[in-house]
Structure 1
Amino acid sequence: MPRLDEPHYFGAGPALLPTAVLQQASIDLLNYKDSGLGLGEISHRSALAVDVVNTAVANIKSLLDVPETHDVFFLQGGGTGEFAAVVYNMLASYALKTGKKGKADYIVTGSWSDKALQEAKRLGIDVNIVVNSKRDGKYRGIPDTTEWKFGSPEDTAYVYYCDNETVDGVEFSYVPEVPEGVDLVADMSSNILSKKVDVSKYALIFAGAQKNIGMAGVTVVICKRSLLQKAPDAKLVELNIPLAPLVLDFAIIAKNNSLYNTLPIFNVHIVSLTTDRLIAAGGLAVQEQISGDNAAKLYAALDAAPEGTFGLIVAKNSRSRMNIVFTILGEGKEKEFLDGAKVRGMTGLAGHRSVGGIRVSNYNAVSPSSVDLLVSWINEFAGTK
């Protein structure tokens, strides 16, 4: 049965997709451009498939105004796969430039940056923790930069951070300043294409598609072209730097236009359709305003509630626009809130299993009308209506 109305769905990922995108995709899955074949059936190296990839790449470059110094390509493995890919590729590039095994700086402000840190350690990298914001078992915000302690710039291959922590509701409102000459790497899986970004400040940006720009199965990478040059494998082995699996080797993926192995073309097509809509709607300046307005309405309602209704632990200057997290205070109140939301047509509000509570994911496909409906329920629940 066709979907007639946009659902009021606030799930954190896989997340809501625009109905118009799904409708077009359903046609293309059956018969793409009158080829007689669906997008899940065509060869990933056919002209039709190459055009899908090229269109998605061009759209992302256009939306983010990606400079000529950077390449855009797709991998599989999600953001978690990139935790390892970052290590492999950044250290291999650093080894070419310096002839030595570099170290890595990690800024830990939530569970996802911590997972990336643990993967780097697992791969045998010498890691320096610039700052870890966890206090009493919770991530409550981004510590002042006066508390940060970077490693020696002469030995640091890269600085890593997560721009938006999906689980913990912490988001950077600025680009971290790193020591001169050190490359900056960012996980933007849950806020990419929700705001304008100065890509030139980054050596590497990656993002799983299933939040703002598509469906699970592909990860977009925006990489400084100079990083695609790396030390020979023999040198990496000599330096005890792990060799990247070929499917995570940025140089190979970029050289083959994302098509070194069998890329899920249908998933990339969803990225194309989603970014087409973003461009048609006015680009990231417009989307940034919408995202900011939605988040502001939600936080205003939560802050206006009587004391003892909601618990918001993230510092105001670190609150995420994408993932608004809070708790419902009082025995049985959380279930009451979720049940009431469901009766009113709203789903996907339960917090991550590791932290509980409520999580409102305010991704690009979530409409202002859905946010208004949720704000109304928050006010009614809190007695501030």
Structure 2
Amino acid sequence: MCIANISFIANQVMSICVVGLDYGTWWYRITPQGTQISTNKGATWTVIDMGWTLPTQNWLNNQPSYFQTGYLNWMQAQEVDWWKQPVPGSNATTWMWFDTASQLPFRMMFGAPPSSPAMGDPAQLAFFQNFSFTYFPNFAPASSPNVDSWVDPVIAGFQPGNPNNQKLVVWNPCFFMTTYMTPVDSKSMPLPTVVLYQWKPDASYRVASDRGQATIMSYEYNPSAGFQDQVAMLYGIAPSGTPPPALAGSGYIYNETFFLSRGYPFPIVWSCDNIGLGQEPPDWARIPAVDGTIHASINNNPALSPGQTTNIISVLFPPTKEYPQGRYLWTWYSPFPGSDGTRSRPVTFMESASTIAEGGTSLALADYYDYQESPVWFPPEFFDLPALCLAQPKPDAVKASLPKGAAIRGTGSK
């Protein structure tokens, strides 16, 4: 994670002064002749080939698509225009958010990383392509941009580390929230989503639905998908010493369409996959293996966290074949007044270096809106599983193709 001060003169130079939150400074100067780097704030320079080219003012040149104009999250700092453009030679897309009032860039998410950290893609925007996610809290024209001197980057209200000695978040045991889930494949638009979550304490646990999470994603803006909703139904593990119900610790994703029957919506489930991943416990950020860390705090920044404090947290995703070293999941949480960080409200979540599975969307970003902690537990039928899902084998035996045909959604959490 880094912060930067960037100055640009069209057709001449881009000066990028970067400070790492944990260590290091890097000063890049990109000109039509190539790229130079200094790691000592300009005392010495080295020519380096990063695969970058000096950007033009017209860097949006790959048929961008408009999605909507609206707020980024529940803080309602400013309205932004949501745009995306496909990545050349990939089925991924780059998302960009422009301040509606000024039409200047505010946020950017790259769907396809460069081939390596040391070599960029000439067809993508220089420098920014090496970061999954970028915010521009300050973006303004300048009559005489300073491109010849090192300038320490400053963001109002931003402090690296954990200056307020906050604790990592622990979810309320019962809540619901709404979010936009944004995929990074070029064909998909964001998915309006509602999440229902409950995790009963050990003494109250009886059935799988006592620990359940239902994530219901609407395909309203993706009509070519052929279904209306996609649901991820996850179940938590049983308490130690309790015989686990059949669904404990498992997870399923299914697609459904609703038809009217005698005036009532009737769900038809078209396919279901056993994904083998269950529900995370409320203290998921504090599990030692994920190395949860508060990297920075933002206090009352008018563009990023107006009237609020926000903690920027990372957790480590387990190693995979594509990323044997693992990769970070980044999430922003705003503590409730008087909280030490334990009780916090989600702001945004994103996965770095997300990949697109065959036929998938790779949901890389979530921006949060409504959030309510429930004083009572949800009814068990909220976490009922369709009958088709119960027929699915375990993930290590799942065939390459999806289940054929359709099935009427039934119950099966008992």
Q: Give the TM-score taking structure 1 as reference length.
A: 0.27
Please identify which structure carries the higher helix content.
1
Structure ranking higher on relative contact order (CA contacts 8 Å, 6+ apart): 1
Please identify which structure carries the higher strand content.
2
Quick check: which has more Rg, 1 or 2? 2
